[in-house]
Structure 1
Amino acid sequence: MISRRSVLVTGGAGLGLAVAWAVWPRSYAVDLAPQEGETALGAWLKIAENGRITVAVPQAEHGQGVYTTLPQILADELGADWRTIGVEAALPSPLYSNPLAAAALFDGGLARVPEPVRREHWVRSALLLTAGSTSVRMFEAPLREAGAAARVLLAKAAAARWGVDWAQCETSEGMVVNGDRRLRFGELAAEAASFDLPSELPLRIGDEGRLTGQALARLDAPAKVDGSANFTADVRLPDMVFASIAQGPAGGESRLTRVDKAAADRVSGVVSVIENERWVAAIANNSWAAIQGLAALRPRFETRGALADSGAIARALDAALDAEGARFAEVGDIADVLRGDVARAEYSIGLGAHSALETPTATAWWHADRLELWLPTQAPTMARGAAARAIGVPESAITVHPMLIGGSFGQALDHDAAAQASIIAITLRRPVQLTWSRREAILHDRFGAPAKARMAARLSGDGRLLGWQAQIAAPATGAALARRLLGADPLARAARALPAGADGYAMSGAVPPYRVPALAIDQHRADITLPVGHLRGGADRANGFFTECFIDEVAHRAGAEPMSFRIGMLGHDARLARCLTTAASLGGWDGGRAGSGQGLACHAVAGSMIAVLAEAQYDAGGRAKVSRIVAAVDCGRAINPDIVRQQVEGGIVFGIALATARVPAFAAGIADLHTLGDLRLPRLSDTPEITVELIPSAADPGGVSDLGVPAVAPAIANALAAATGKRPRQLPFGSP
């Protein structure tokens, strides 16, 4: 019988003792906290007497649409009326863990731990995590099963009333149907919970009345449009104060040495100053007074170790390339192939700033020996752990309320603000809302990693590609994420004792999609003075740039038209080849001739494929100006086509920003950019005409949140090369 409190979960198996650990049955408690008149049917939904259906969503909503696509999967299988669907954030439970996202983030740090052991560990740790374009890929199956289970139970309840076989009952638009008889879900939910499930759940078949594939309206849109949606900064609690914070320079280890508390006390509204070894916060009865109080403090820091310096970062990448690398992938004997006339080129990509509209923030309240946290977080269980370590209490004493996020692009994986707000709250014994300034958000960003690549290729006499080599210098972002985010996690500690190889995160997307007789991909680990983190597009934003720019150069060297050159090596990948031909056809591809200002690029990530045609020129000021983007996408079955297009379009604009905006330069640990305006992000007037074509596909759904990013920069670079005859090999683009 299905229980409203628990679900039996079985996992995979590892090796040795891990086998018994991984397959041992266990029961995980689930509590959907049904209110009066509501009935929980399993771990994913509850139905009210009035017919309203609430779906538990374990993923953070930061604009990517999971508050719509995930409920849409369940509602489709259930046969629900979309107008009755609502959502709420899922409470931490192993049932909602996301080992697929953990693999995407931490592959570099834990790659040598057997995959079944890693997966089982993330499940048992109840790792709620939103990252890596994994939401639909991870949760489509359990949501379909949950919808099917609830449909069967409701059908059994209705069949018992009618005296018929439940298998003769169907569901449609929120009702159980048998011939002319109909009963609403709300009338049946309480009875349905008492029935047993069959050994196998029958999934719906056929296309009639299905919600999957429909461009249903986003559930989060109305509240965001009318302003009623609550973000962390909207939280208001009795006796709440506001905090503004200053930390030391970037890089090294900073220690607070001096503040002018007397000056801060003279600022009207300031109620306290909290000093920490690494930061200082001004507390006031309004946010403006907190900002002014912090400025009056004029904090001074002493830093040990190397401060962040852009010149030092560039030298570290060069030094890494000159050192021995770790082999990530190989085919054939590349050393034997790369002889004679070899094409070579170097490319580099700078820091990637998150530039999210919502800077790091947290609202904390310590009361009754418990801490409540309201956070914009992509990893609520990790945030809870960070707060617990900061104030020295067990995680069981902390409740995290995940909030809507005002953008993130990976920034909300880090929880410095949560730890800082927790310390302030327990010190003051009153609610506090901490908000980082834009300057702090830029200075202490966990940037997308910089990278540099040395590429080499050899062509045959008739223009065929015989060998391909990529030597890529980049920080080990996966290992860095594992060290910083996993904290005292025992598996992470054990993994650090194992020999390090190539970092899987840093090398994502580095293997070209093209079939080449000989290939070698090496990572050269670079140690830089800035912490790196996850950024939308991941390392594919760099590795896709290296691959698609160089393949274009090689095609021109071979005297071949760039699209045909690519297609000739994609016989094994019909989906990506179709994306290329579709983008070229829709965009009016003219072969990339000199002066055309047209460029092509393609990429595959998270089980999805994309090809991009860009049209670009340099403007009178020497800045790259993109006038048109055409993208062809194969992401498998699209749950909600409109949301897929929104995500791809958003990724394209994000990719344009990474290619054309400014990035902070560091000297002595201080960034030269302090505001969003300083970053020169694309504005509406800078946004090109964008066309996104979805190619129908019967493949399983792939991820789309990152998909729009990687192919944009190389397509623009190839277009600029066609426009001017000079190839840009560095991101972001400068003057020709």
Structure 2
Amino acid sequence: MISRRTLLVTGGAGAGLALAWAVWPRHYAVDLAPERNETAIGAWLKIARNGRITIAVPQAEHGQGVYTTLPQIVADELGADWRTIGVEAAVPGPTYANPLAAAALFGGGLAHVPDAIRREHWVRSGLVLTGGSTSVRMFEAPLREAGAAARVLLTKAAAKRWGVDWGECDTADGFVVNGNRRLRFGELAAEAAGFDLPEELPLRFGDEGRLSGQSLPRLDAPAKVDGSVNFTADVRLPDMVFATIAQGPAGVTRSRLVRVDKPAADRVRGVTGVVENPHWVAVVANTSWAAIQGLAALRPRFETRGGLADSAAIDAGLEAAFERPGLAFARHGEAADELAGDVARASYAIGPGVHASLETPCATAWWHSDRLELWAPTQAPGLARAAAARAIGVSEQAVTIHPMMIGGSFGRALDHEAVEQAAILAATLRRPVQLLWTRREATLHDRFGAPARARMAARLASDGRILDWQARIATPATGAALTDRLLGHDALARSAMFLPQRADGYAMAGAVPPYAFPAASILHHPADIPLTVGHLRGGADRANAFFTECFIDELAHRAGTEPMSYRIGMLGHDPQLARCLSTAAALGEWDGGAAGTGQGLACHAMAGSRIALVAEAQQDGSGGVKVDRIVAAVDCGRAINPDVVRQQVEGGILLGLALATGRAPHFTAGLADTRTLGDLRLPRLADTPEITVELIPSRGDPGGVSDLGVVAVAPAIANALAAAAGNRHRTLPFGAS
């Protein structure tokens, strides 16, 4: 049994996990590396003599606000003064593992493995991950307990000084208080660490004086505003050189380097060398610009045998998937394989999604004293460290990784090709090297959000009610691809690869509608396409919500029913989503979505949260799409920091808007026609609609929000365009319709 004393040592990493596999000791050592005049209190925080509190955060900060929300949970339970709170990245280890994110990303690739075993394996292997809108959902409980444990220890230390029972003491604003007596946390920390915890921790309750629920200022904002924060490209080391890289055409087959013009590159001022690899070539120089110019002069040539990315081949692969039997993902009621009677049908498509983050893949590496030191923007630091070690043939213990702030990511920083390449360059050159991919390279060799096709069908009653719902979705098995690429050296993942194929849980996320139907069948048709796919913010919910919400809207109009009422009539089991719909409709001045109104509505549930949107949109004079207004209503349970939630939902809406109204890459023989941010036609400030985000008060457990804003935007806009001009867009992005 896990005692409260064990909790202090392990940081609550085992709390809530299935114990079926708990036959090994689970006392994980944690070193917060306290500096002089600092005292570590458990696995999550340390307190300095001057009252400064530093909280370890295992999640990568790439704009989503975890460097604020996670410390806010601890500070609230501890009774700290927010002005004294600081943050540092946690050292990867079992205590900080995130099996919830692992399940979201890799669960589809390990569908045969029992959930309890998967979770236990991911904890024991210290799989630290950021993704899947899991940070608060995963770590709220252990962080609350860590804050409560520190509060109890501090009150015990103060109570001993005062000669009172510790239960008569409390904490507030960084002090332990008992009547008129007050002692600062910093004065008590060293003594507090020597006390024992009770069997049951007293967690705070009630709303008075709580930090949780307040829109406290973000801890990462000041340094980002004044430019003092360090990203990977800001790292500077003695004798460091800069490098950029070229790889072959895009596809699923690795290209082979066959020719370079090294003398031409050497003639570029500032170039110090060229490093050739079987699959890539790098130019090294004393500045990044010189490296880029040298690479242009190098004119590398590659050979690729088959597997080149090609849009026609991608489309053919998706269509061919429908010719093979689908894998059952969900089925209930007396669902028919072939629908008969009054049947409505529609087909939808979504193209590859590009990450287009501001920070391209990069890493800084330094080989010294028979060790490799890495600075990298990574959402999976343990996996990045292991990949770097394999790349240069050393043990993981010989590699130290420093997870850096990330300049966006949207999921791209889960992969670590740049880390491997930087490690090879540092080991080859025997000096510090900073590798930065160009925008062209980042776009060409993205790990794209998977393209998909859907064939939707519904058998209808005479009054338009849905009697039988059928969704057949052709898309790559992204969960299996992520598992193979990122966990390919994991024993559990390797063993699962030999088991029979099942519907991919990642690829089918969000495919089960939130509505109640008498019967439904959802099938996954795994598609084999010449394109490397990966995790993109919003996941597969982005495609599957588009398919569902557009088809529901078409069915509502076919039935002659107002679209919001049509949806709410099927949501008796989900009053929260129904409330989101009614709230968005009221705030968005919904007038029924009739012809000519230019209003569209959509909703979705994911990661324990719910969202509904009303969009106002129209075709502009050039054939593009103009979105004038978006109103969103969100139920995400208890909001730790409401402003951060609004920021995440609004940011997700803007990303969803970019993916819906911009351009998807078109491939010909492994080359994409989108090589710059401008080519993607991302929305600019002048294109940004008025956005309103309303948070519905809730006392439920916190849900995820980072992906939530992305998913419902495209169907709401598509439904608005259909209302504006009667032209139904069934393909994303809309420019491809």
Decide: shared fold, TM above 0.5. yes
Q: 1:35 offset after TM fit, Å?
A: 0.3
Letter in 2 for 1:155: T
Letter in 2 for 1:699: G
Q: 1:611 offset after TM fit, Å?
A: 0.1
* Matched residue, 2:211: 211
Match status 1:671 vs 2:672: yes
Change in Cα spacing, 1:33 to 1:719, as seen in structure 2 (3 Å) is same
For the 8 Å contact 2:422–2:434, the answer to whether it is kept is: yes
* Matched residue, 2:450: 449
For the 8 Å contact 2:17–2:119, the answer to whether it is kept is: no
Q: 1:205 offset after TM fit, Å?
A: 1.6
Counterpart Cα distance in 1 of 2:12 and 2:453: 48
For the 8 Å contact 1:75–1:82, the answer to whether it is kept is: yes
Q: 1:734 offset after TM fit, Å?
A: 2.1
Change in Cα spacing, 1:725 to 1:246, as seen in structure 2 (3 Å) is same
Counterpart Cα distance in 1 of 2:523 and 2:307: 27
How does the TM-score come out when normalised to structure 1? 0.98
Aligned residue for 1:374, secondary structure, equals strand
For the 8 Å contact 1:622–1:735, the answer to whether it is kept is: no
For the 8 Å contact 2:662–2:680, the answer to whether it is kept is: yes
Cα deviation per residue 1:263-303 (whole Å; 9 max; x = unaligned)?
11111111110000000000001111101111111000011
Residue correspondence of structure 1 range 420-431 to structure 2 within 5 A = 420-431=421-432
Aligned residue for 2:265, secondary structure, equals helix
Aligned residue for 2:28, secondary structure, equals strand
Counterpart Cα distance in 2 of 1:594 and 1:645: 31
* Matched residue, 2:41: 41
Letter in 2 for 1:307: L
Aligned residue for 1:566, secondary structure, equals helix
Count of aligned pairs between the two proteins: 732
Counterpart Cα distance in 2 of 1:506 and 1:521: 12
Cα deviation per residue 1:449-491 (whole Å; 9 max; x = unaligned)?
0000000012111221111100000000000000001131001
Letter in 2 for 1:73: I
* Matched residue, 1:121: 121
Letter in 2 for 1:640: N
Counterpart Cα distance in 1 of 2:12 and 2:679: 53
For the 8 Å contact 1:351–1:450, the answer to whether it is kept is: yes
* Matched residue, 2:156: 156
Q: 1:711 offset after TM fit, Å?
A: 0.5
* Matched residue, 1:277: 278
Change in Cα spacing, 1:96 to 1:420, as seen in structure 2 (3 Å) is same
Q: RMSD value over aligned CA atoms?
A: 1.3
For the 8 Å contact 1:570–1:577, the answer to whether it is kept is: yes
For the 8 Å contact 1:59–1:378, the answer to whether it is kept is: yes
Residue correspondence of structure 1 range 563-574 to structure 2 within 5 A = 563-574=564-575
Aligned residue for 1:599, secondary structure, equals strand
* Matched residue, 1:650: 651
Aligned residue for 2:711, secondary structure, equals coil
Change in Cα spacing, 1:619 to 1:459, as seen in structure 2 (3 Å) is same
For the 8 Å contact 1:22–1:117, the answer to whether it is kept is: no
Match status 1:464 vs 2:465: yes
Q: 1:12 offset after TM fit, Å?
A: 7.2
* Matched residue, 2:509: 508
* Matched residue, 1:415: 416
Change in Cα spacing, 1:502 to 1:735, as seen in structure 2 (3 Å) is closer
For the 8 Å contact 1:22–1:116, the answer to whether it is kept is: no
Residue correspondence of structure 1 range 718-729 to structure 2 within 5 A = 718-729=719-730
Structure 1 residue runs without a partner (length 5+): none
Counterpart Cα distance in 2 of 1:574 and 1:7: 36
Residue correspondence of structure 1 range 230-309 to structure 2 within 5 A = 230-251=230-251, 252-309=253-310
Q: 1:22 offset after TM fit, Å?
A: 2.6
For the 8 Å contact 1:250–1:308, the answer to whether it is kept is: yes
Counterpart Cα distance in 1 of 2:43 and 2:208: 27
Cα deviation per residue 1:169-206 (whole Å; 9 max; x = unaligned)?
00000000000000000000000000000011000122
User: Which stretch of the first structure deviates more once superposed, 45-54 or 287-296?
Assistant: 287-296
Aligned residue for 2:118, secondary structure, equals helix
Cα deviation per residue 1:363-388 (whole Å; 9 max; x = unaligned)?
00000000010000000001001101
Counterpart Cα distance in 2 of 1:12 and 1:642: 29
Match status 1:313 vs 2:314: yes
Counterpart Cα distance in 1 of 2:14 and 2:664: 46
Residue correspondence of structure 1 range 634-649 to structure 2 within 5 A = 634-649=635-650
* Matched residue, 1:324: 325
* Matched residue, 2:99: 99
Letter in 2 for 1:541: R
Change in Cα spacing, 1:9 to 1:515, as seen in structure 2 (3 Å) is closer
For the 8 Å contact 2:458–2:467, the answer to whether it is kept is: yes
Counterpart Cα distance in 2 of 1:110 and 1:30: 29
For the 8 Å contact 2:458–2:469, the answer to whether it is kept is: yes
Q: 1:8 offset after TM fit, Å?
A: 7.9
Residue correspondence of structure 1 range 137-216 to structure 2 within 5 A = 137-216=137-216
Letter in 2 for 1:52: R
Counterpart Cα distance in 2 of 1:136 and 1:407: 19
Counterpart Cα distance in 2 of 1:88 and 1:632: 33
* Matched residue, 1:629: 630
Letter in 2 for 1:151: R
Counterpart Cα distance in 2 of 1:669 and 1:734: 22
Q: 1:710 offset after TM fit, Å?
A: 0.8
Residue correspondence of structure 1 range 647-726 to structure 2 within 5 A = 647-726=648-727
How does the TM-score come out when normalised to structure 2? 0.98
Residue correspondence of structure 1 range 337-352 to structure 2 within 5 A = 338-352=339-353
